[in-house]
């Protein structure tokens, strides 16, 4: 059999290809169309020959198709692009076409060969992916990504717009008390209310958590709309037998006053929201320049704090933990202090929050724990240390390894270490917290639940986590003499701990009468100014010698080497 010539081979391949192959004149008129056109366009090949390739192109895409034909016919190289066409049945589909110029023997442009492929399903899939990527999975509102895109588009148009940064008040207790399903239902209802009150042209989005944003194309209605939203959200939400009473805080930034870019508007609206929340629930505030100055001062403070951590200015102070039965010292709670070269010793209330917000809490914790382990290694055997952990640290799955590495480095026994955690850190991410605390307990480290009785999820945390000790919040202890119900709360906590086989520590013991009453209730350990104020390691000599001599712990008022006697 004779081999087919090139023209016959070309036609054989074209007529059996799944892609549609066309030959076009330089003006776009079809001179050949392969049979695949039946599947792609619903037409027979003879119906398309002699007709312009611009026929059946979706009107909005016609300009792009004409431009590709022009470029390839003028010798600007191969062209590829996507466009929509209208099939014979009226359906609009997406096609991808690749265009190549064919020249004659003299090199002059002669024709165009087009290979056309059906990409409609892929394009629909991409559109669905784009929609999912731009939509909040829970509320169905646009998400942060879509919101920033809409904001940038509005700014590009030069609109005098307003951004309302919206944060719910008192939302966390709903999750803590009633569970995340109730919290999700509340967020869905809030989203529906915000969307229902949106004026024409507004863009409503959920930025994440309990944060929403409303973008108004007209900044003159910002205050009026903010007041309306606060009223709408303040109406109680009833879902699944739960009545949720909340409020909201709204920060407002405007363009051009606060800038012409999305980052500036979002940042300033966030600052204004923070000030509104700090001023009290249910408020809205416009951004003001003094807020920026305050933020700048905080930034300088955080930089100075970062330098202080690196320089070792954050040091451990120690407060005694006393066995209330024997009145003997059993350990020390480790408390952070900033040994500031200009302002002296600063308490943690001055810097811990800045360390948390500035991403410095982990290095601060590591330095503090490392130094405390070194100090305690020189104390009499058996004395333990109790160290507070920031709630943010319980979201870090590597925390347990960090603690174990420090213990190994210092040679300090894990059996002498107790870590104190608060409920707020646990309920934020219970799964990670359980994993981290479980690894620490498996190593012999004890875990105490701090400030017990003040959170919303106390009983749930005791049930979920295998903690070793409950710390009774100082507010209950301080009120024993003046509020009879405090005594009932304290007794209930001690009874619960005893039933579960847990230890108890009472914070805030400041006088002998309170100490005796707490001890009579059955509490194991106590701490407070009655036994001693926080002190640096160099000033612990009398207490430590008392342990070595077997003497009971002494009250703060008698903190000196000659006063070691029974309390």
Task: Work out the average pLDDT over 109-137.
Answer: 83
DSSP at 392: G
CA distance 369 to 467: 20
Long-range contacts for 172-177 (Cβ within 8 Å, ≥24 apart)?
Answer: 172/456, 173/456, 174/242, 174/244, 174/246, 175/427, 176/423, 176/427, 176/455, 176/456, 176/457, 176/460, 177/456, 177/457
Least confidently predicted of 39-43, 161-165, 244-248, 355-359: 355-359
Summarize pLDDT for 352-380 with one digit per residue, the tens.
888 887 889 999 999 999 999 999 999 98
* Domains of the chain as residue ranges with CATH: 6-125 (3.30.450.20), 138-287 (3.30.70.270), 321-335+384-553 (3.20.20.450)
Task: Work out the average pLDDT over 121-144.
Answer: 81
Summarize pLDDT for 151-190 with one digit per residue, the tens.
999 999 888 999 999 999 888 778 766 777 888 899 999 9
Summarize pLDDT for 461-475 with one digit per residue, the tens.
677 777 899 998 888
555 pLDDT exceeds 70? Answer: no
pLDDT (0 to 100) of residue 210: 92
397 pLDDT exceeds 50? Answer: yes
- How far from 461 is each of 396, 422, 520, CA to CA, in Å? 18, 10, 27
* Termini Cα distance of the chain: 117
CA distance 540 to 333: 13
Indicate the pTM of the whole model. 0.56
């Amino acid at each position: 059999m004779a081999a087919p010539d090139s023209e016959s081979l070309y036609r054989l391949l074209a007529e059996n290809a799944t892609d549609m192959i066309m030959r076009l004149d330089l003006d776009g008129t079809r001179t050949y169309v392969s049979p695949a056109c039946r599947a792609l366009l619903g037409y027979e090949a003879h119906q398309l020959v002699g007709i312009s390739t611009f026929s059946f192109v979706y009107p909005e895409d016609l300009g792009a198709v004409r431009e590709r034909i022009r470029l390839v016919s003028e010798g600007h190289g191969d062209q590829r692009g996507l466009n929509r066409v209208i099939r014979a049945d009226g359906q609009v589909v997406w096609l991808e076409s690749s265009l190549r110029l064919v020249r004659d023997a003299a090199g002059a442009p002669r024709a165009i060969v087009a290979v056309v492929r059906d990409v409609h399903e892929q394009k629909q899939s991409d559109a669905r992916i784009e929609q999912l990527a731009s939509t909040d999975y829970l509320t169905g509102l646009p998400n942060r990504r879509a919101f920033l895109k809409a904001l940038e588009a509005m700014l590009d148009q030069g609109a005098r717009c307003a951004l309302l940064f919206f944060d719910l008040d008192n939302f966390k207790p709903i999750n803590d008390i009633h569970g995340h399903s109730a919290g999700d239902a509340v967020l869905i209802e809030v989203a529906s209310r915000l969307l229902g009150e949106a004026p024409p042209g507004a863009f409503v989005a959920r930025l994440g958590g309990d944060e929403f944003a409303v973008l108004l194309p007209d900044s003159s209605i910002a205050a009026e709309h903010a007041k309306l939203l606060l009223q709408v959200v303040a109406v109680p939400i009833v879902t699944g037998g739960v009545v949720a009473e909340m409020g909201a805080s709204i920060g407002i930034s405007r363009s051009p006053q606060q800038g012409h870019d999305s980052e500036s508007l979002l940042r300033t609206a966030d600052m204004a929201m923070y000030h509104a929340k700090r001023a009290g629930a249910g408020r809205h505030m416009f951004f003001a320049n003094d807020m920026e100055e305050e933020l700048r001062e905080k930034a300088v403070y955080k930089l100075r704090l970062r330098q202080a951590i690196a320089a070792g200015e954050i040091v451990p102070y120690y407060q005694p933990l006393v066995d209330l039965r024997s009145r003997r010292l059993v350990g020390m709670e480790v408390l952070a202090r900033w040994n500031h070269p200009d302002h002296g010793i600063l308490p943690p209330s001055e810097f811990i929050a800045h360390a948390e917000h500035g991403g410095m809490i982990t290095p601060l914790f590591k330095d503090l724990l490392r130094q405390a382990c070194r100090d305690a290694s020189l104390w009499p055997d058996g004395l333990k240390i109790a160290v507070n952990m920031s709630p943010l640290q319980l979201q870090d799955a590597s925390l347990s390894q960090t603690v174990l590495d420090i213990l190994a480095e210092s040679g300090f026994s894990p059996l002498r270490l107790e870590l104190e955690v608060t409920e707020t850190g646990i309920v934020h991410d219970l799964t990670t917290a359980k994993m981290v605390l479980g690894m620490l307990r498996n190593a012999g480290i004890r875990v105490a639940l701090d400030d017990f009785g003040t959170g919303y999820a106390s009983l749930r945390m005791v049930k979920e986590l295998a903690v070793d000790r409950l710390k009774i919040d100082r507010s209950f202890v301080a009120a024993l003499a003046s509020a009879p119900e405090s005594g009932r709360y304290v007794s209930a906590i001690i009874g619960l701990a005893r039933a579960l086989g847990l230890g108890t520590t009472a914070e805030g013991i400041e006088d002998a009468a309170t100490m005796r009453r707490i001890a009579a209730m059955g509490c194991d350990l106590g701490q407070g100014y009655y036994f001693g104020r926080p002190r640096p390691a160099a000033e612990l000599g009398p207490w430590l010698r008392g342990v070595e001599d077997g003497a009971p712990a002494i009250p703060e008022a008698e903190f000196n080497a000659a006063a070691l006697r029974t309390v």
